[in-house]
């Protein structure tokens, strides 16, 4: 299990560096980077000690909202981030 976690974190780290280097100035790339950080917290949740599980659990909680925001920025013609659905996504 640790081998697969390490491999996944390595792939996420490489993707993080490439996206930061090439597309770091775009808003959709910044949201994608935050999504990668939350995915890393998901992978690390079972590996870290009990003292740090609260941090990984809190960061993992952002995954659905970040995915919604990423889809809004990537696929909407005009993203409506300050709407009723945006408020629901922020909760």
Ordered per-residue pLDDT tens for the chain, 91 residues: 789 999 999 999 999 999 999 999 998 999 999 999 999 999 999 899 999 999 999 999 999 989 988 988 888 777 666 666 666 665 5
What's the confidence (pLDDT) of residue 69? 87
Domain ranges of the chain: 2-90
pTM: 0.84
Q: Are 44 and 13 in contact (CB under 8 A)?
A: no
Tally the C-alpha atoms within 13 A of residue 90's C-alpha that lie toward its C-beta: 7
Phi, psi of 78 (to 5 degrees): -130, 100
């Amino acid at each position: 299990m640790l081998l697969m976690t390490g491999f996944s974190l390595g792939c996420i780290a490489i993707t993080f560096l490439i996206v930061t280097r090439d597309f770091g100035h775009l808003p959709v790339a910044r949201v994608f980077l935050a999504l990668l950080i939350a995915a890393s917290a998901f992978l690390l949740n079972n590996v870290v000690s009990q003292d740090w599980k609260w941090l990984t659990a809190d960061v993992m909680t952002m995954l659905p909202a970040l995915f919604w925001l990423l889809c809004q920025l990537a696929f909407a013609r005009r993203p409506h981030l300050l709407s009723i659905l945006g408020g629901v996504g922020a909760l």
